[in-house]
Structure formats: structure tokens, C-alpha cells
Amino acid sequence: MSSLTLPSPAKLNLFLHILGRRPDGYHELQTLFQFLDYGDTITLTTRPDDQILLEQPIPGVPDEENLVIRAARKLAATANNPVAGVSIAIDKRLPMGGGLGGGSSNAATTLLGLNYLWGLGHSLDELAEIGLTLGADVPVFVRGHSAWGEGVGEKLTDANPPEDWFVVIKPSCDISTKEIFSEQGLTRDTPGIKIAPAFEGDASRYRNDCEDVVRRLYPEVHQGLEWLAQFGPARLTGTGACIFGRFPTESAARIIWESKPSGITGFVAQGVNISPLHKKLTELK
């Protein structure tokens, strides 16, 4: 049996513009993804039989729907020869449905980890294509470089935003991506911008178009943003509920984190342009 323990980092949408809606109802986006040096950890252990199993179910997510199981099954189906079974353990730190991409990241880590353990030799392009069938955010985690995202987020161009520090807050509400994209009042006509070689994060030309709707529906998010905005640029990631404030140094971020009102949950982490998953896989080679 062989075993592999790998990081499954979070992402932030440093901005998120909605340009329009496609005939199939999906929204055309422009976004900037950056990874955080913070996330879940996944351990993959091969088995003597051919089963693909989750060691510990995630409450509220049936194993059949868990993105790691779905990713492993899809990958196994691409193999020319039978592959070993695998037990998958997820050490979950990322809040679910928080706009941090935890589920998509778990899927990508499983795809890359099993590609290595099973010796399949698929390229990142091939794995990103499999990933896209699991979710729009999976390809950026597979490619492992911060990126401008267009289309539904699958057209990716490498980006190098500053590796600033973030205070990430999880307001005490769960927000469904589908609910926000169904809202009447959502801004859906932001003009497309030319992707820029440099990103000045707090420039007024960059927003999260979901923010107004989410602030209106979820006062906890509004209050969190008002508090964070006192200290620097603050935004929603994805369709929420998590919000983040950006700081140039770790100590600046930690001072604000220590001053938070009681009851606020979240964490401090650095933005990184190479995914911690890819750093770890490079060390293994």
C-alpha cells in the first residue's frame, strides 16, 4: 500500500464581474483567482481491493456526491488498466459553501494525487478537462497558478497579483451560489475589461458584482464588510459568504484579526500565486 498526503488550498476571487448570462442560464464572468496558503489536507491510501472509499463522511454531503469520490471515479474511468482501490481522508478546515472553493479544491487535489499514485501520466490539461465536468472552479486548482478567469471561470490566464496577507471572515450564514445567481437585482451587465498584466487590487474598476445583493439578503455579511473596510480594502469572495480584508504584511493582518469583535470566526492567511498543492508535488518528483 502507498499513501500520499497533500494540501487542498482555498482560493479567493480578488474581484468578480458578471458580464452577462448565457442561453443555458450560466453567467459569463471575469474574475481573478488567487490561492491561499491555507486549506484542507487530503490523504490518499491505496487499498488491496478495487474500492474507492471516503474514510469519514462530511456531514450533509452523501459520499456519492462528495467531489473527491466523484473525481476519483471519473479518473479511474480514464485508466487503460485496472487501478488500485483508494481510501480518501479529508481533514476539513475550510467552511463549505463559503466561496473559498473547498469542494473544488478537494476534487483537484484528488485528481492530481491519484494521477501520481496510479501512475496515469495525464497532463494538467487533461486533468483540468476532467475537473471542469465536476465544477467551474476545479480547473484553476488543477493548473495551480493564480489566474484571470473568464467564461464561467474555465478560460484561465496566469496572473501574479501581490502575495498580500488576508483576514478572512466567515459570517454565520450559508449562501447558495444558485440563489445568488437567480436574484432579480443582480448586476449582470458589467462591461468586459482587458485583462491587465498588473493588478492594483483596490482600484475602483474591480468589484464583486454579487456583493450588493448578498449585503441586502445577509446583514451578517454587510456588518462584516463594514467592520473590515475600516482597515483597508474588503470584499466578498465568490458568491459568499466569506469576506476578506487585504494587508501588505502578516503583522498588519494579525493586529486586525486580534482586534475582532467576539463571535467572529475565520483565519489569517497569505495569498500565494503557486498552489501549495503543486509545491508539494514538485518536491515529490
d(CA 208, CA 70): 30
Look at residue 126 and give its three-state secondary structure. Answer: helix
Site string for ligand ADP, 199-238 (x = CB under 6 A): ---------------------------------------x
Site string for ligand ADP, 137-176 (x = CB under 6 A): ----------------------------------------
Q: Work out the angle at residue 18's Cα, subtended by the Cα atoms of residues 14 and 20, and round it to the nearest 5 degrees.
A: 160
Task: Please check whether residue 35 is in contact with residue 149, taking contact to mean a CB–CB distance below 8 angstroms.
Answer: no
Nearby residues of 218 by Cβ (< 8 Å), 6 or more positions away: 171, 173, 175, 240, 241
Mark whether 137 is an active-site residue.
yes
Does position 270 bind ligand SUD by CB under 6 A? Answer: no
d(CA 31, CA 34): 10
Task: Please check whether residue 231 is in contact with residue 245, taking contact to mean a CB–CB distance below 8 angstroms.
Answer: yes
Catalytic: which of 40, 137, 164, 209? Answer: 137
Question: How much is the CA Rg of the chain, to the nearest whole Å?
Answer: 19
Mark whether 11 is an active-site residue.
yes
Does position 62 bind ligand SUD by CB under 6 A? Answer: no
Residues in the chain, total: 285
> Which window, 22-30, 185-193, 196-204, 262-270, contacts ligand SUD (CB under 6 A)?
22-30
Does position 102 bind ligand SUD by CB under 6 A? Answer: no
- CB of 136 or CB of 243, closer to ligand SUD: 136
Residues 55-74 that bind ligand ADP (CB under 6 A): 58, 61, 65-68
- Nine-digit cell string for 27: 453567467
Does position 34 bind ligand ADP by CB under 6 A? Answer: no
Report whether 87 belongs to an annotated binding site: no
- Residue set of the binding site for ATP: 95-105
- Residues found near ligand ADP in the complex (CB under 6 A): 58, 61, 65-68, 90, 96-104, 106, 177, 238
